[in-house]
Amino acid sequence: MAKARHGLTKRAYQARARVLREQLVQLQLTLKRAPFKVLLILAGPEGAGRGNLLNTLAEWLDPRGVETFSYHPPTDSERAHPHLWRFWRSLPGIGRIGLYAGSWYTETLREEARSKRALSHITADAGRICRFEKLLADGGTLIVKVWLDLSKESQGRRLRSLRADPATAWRVTDEDWHHHRIYDRLAATAAHIRRKTNQPGARWHLIDAQDERARDLSVGQLLLAEVRRQQERLRRRARSQAPQRLKSLRPSGLRRLRALRLDQHLSEKDYDVLREKWLGRLNQAVRAAFAARRAIVFAFEGWDAAGKGGAIRRLTSAVDPRDYRVVPVAKPTDEEKHAHYLWRFWRDIPANGRMVVFDRSWYGRVLVERIEGFCRDDEWKRAFGEIDDFERELTQHGTIVLKYWLHISHAEQLARFREREAAAHKRHKMNAEDWRNRRKRTAYEIAVGDMLALTDRDHAPWHVIPADNKRFARLEVLRSASRQIEAALES
């Protein structure tokens, strides 16, 4: 707890701290009015004083706008999800400052300290971290990464002086001494990680941690400057002039969509037999997947009234109700609106051995949000790559990702809309928005085409289902799902 006696005097420190504190609290007020998330990531060797620094920041800032994060080694439930899941789940609220005593860097650094991780592995970790931070930064989140710099000599001095005083000796552990002995190796790896993860929107800042008072002031000043710079940046971010949302990025998808044969036939009798057969096969495939500790994610998209609900109910009737969850994706809540558009999907990602069916999905970003202008051109254009990263993160973990587009003709949709309005028990499914969206068929077709052309991947393929015939569509979903899951288990 004792402050270093050299460097800044106590009086000078207190005067500067008082000014800084006032500025920080003012800043928090402005952050409330034009909110974005702030992530302050603190890392550095033992003895650099992360704990004390956190306490100081907690004292300076208005606690109602601050959240503190730190991470233990993952629990088994966290290990049963893709690597980034626990970080996505615990991001700070909008307009709040997250103080990260530990972060997505912690595990990588810790494993290195135990010599458990090769440099190539670390470089792969760094790549994943870069994509994650870029995605957050692109979404408007401010990421400030601080490395508290402390020489081996200073570290040794600090540990020895703490140990010498009986009142503070408990602060020094055996692990601290071990890390002190391998200081050079740890420092080299840390420098390597910093280099690999130093990118626009998520820069590393080296702060000298020798003098504790100067250290705390520097970090406070840095936070202040970075938040102000971000506010300026967001103010200047110009809206693109002529929206390009009706221009196709890659027309091959639209051609694929239009070439689809919709007049499929299937008798009720044939359907009854085939349905039970394929339900049985799907049941076996799903159980085999669960036995292999794989998770399954379904994403259902399609025109209004294309029969997503019915197809999902047939599908899930093959699965034990305890093993799956259907997540209907409605308009985002206030909380969700302020979060990254992928956040709410990350939150609902299944653990190994479980299944989640999304009734509408993250593709809303490149469909409704694109066409209705709910996001900027740069945002929906960036989304194709972000979604690709997201699905890759899932499939690399072992999750099986199945994507469905249920396709009906414009005429068939009209017939179904009319039927819904006529039937009292279906009327709640219709509203003015459905009719409005229907009039934008051509625009949506362009968006669907781009989606199919740009996000159809071997590891997460699109199944485009002709759905004018409901029975045919439902069966086709069962068939293709069984086959994709079986294939995923073989590979």
Residue numbers at the binding site for its own copies (CB under 8 A): 1, 18, 21-22, 25, 28-29, 50-52, 54-55, 58-60, 62-64, 68, 70-72, 75-78, 101-102, 165, 167-171, 273, 275-277, 280, 283-284, 309, 313, 316-317, 320-322, 325-326, 328, 330, 334-335, 359, 423-425, 428-429
Nearest approach, Cβ of residue 445 and its own copies (Å): 26
CA distance 95 to 276: 52
C-beta of 14 vs 240, nearer to its own copies: 14
Burial class (CB in 10 A: 0-12, 13-18, 19+), 226: middle
Nearest approach, Cβ of residue 408 and its own copies (Å): 19
Nearest approach, Cβ of residue 468 and its own copies (Å): 21
Angle at 207 (CA atoms; ends 206, 211), nearest 5 degrees:
155
Nearest approach, Cβ of residue 414 and its own copies (Å): 23
C-beta of 113 vs 326, nearer to its own copies: 326
C-beta of 32 vs 459, nearer to its own copies: 32
Residues 368 and 433: beta-carbon distance below 8 Å: no
Nearest approach, Cβ of residue 20 and its own copies (Å): 8
Contacts 24+ apart (CB under 8 A), 173-177: 175/46, 176/46, 176/47
Which parts of 405-469 fold into alpha helices (H)? 410-422, 432-439, 441-455
Nearest approach, Cβ of residue 282 and its own copies (Å): 10
Tokens found for residue 179: 């890390």
Of 278, 260, 227, whose CA–CA distance to 408 is shortest?
Answer: 260
C-beta of 336 vs 377, nearer to its own copies: 336
Which parts of 292-401 fold into alpha helices (H)? 308-316, 334-337, 343-347, 368-371, 377-397
Nearest approach, Cβ of residue 358 and its own copies (Å): 12
Angle at 146 (CA atoms; ends 143, 152), nearest 5 degrees:
160
Nearest approach, Cβ of residue 109 and its own copies (Å): 13
DSSP state of 375: S
Residues 407 and 306: beta-carbon distance below 8 Å: yes
| Radius of gyration from C-alpha coordinates of the chain | 27
C-beta of 208 vs 323, nearer to its own copies: 323
Tokens found for residue 239: 């809206």
CA distance 387 to 394: 11
Nearest approach, Cβ of residue 80 and its own copies (Å): 8
C-beta of 460 vs 481, nearer to its own copies: 481
Residue 433's Cβ-side half-sphere holds a number of Cα atoms within 13 Å equal to 8
C-beta of 76 vs 458, nearer to its own copies: 76
CA distance 80 to 352: 5
C-beta of 28 vs 361, nearer to its own copies: 28
Cα 340 from chain centre: 7
- Residue 49's region, left for phi above 0, alpha for psi from -120 to 50, else beta, is left
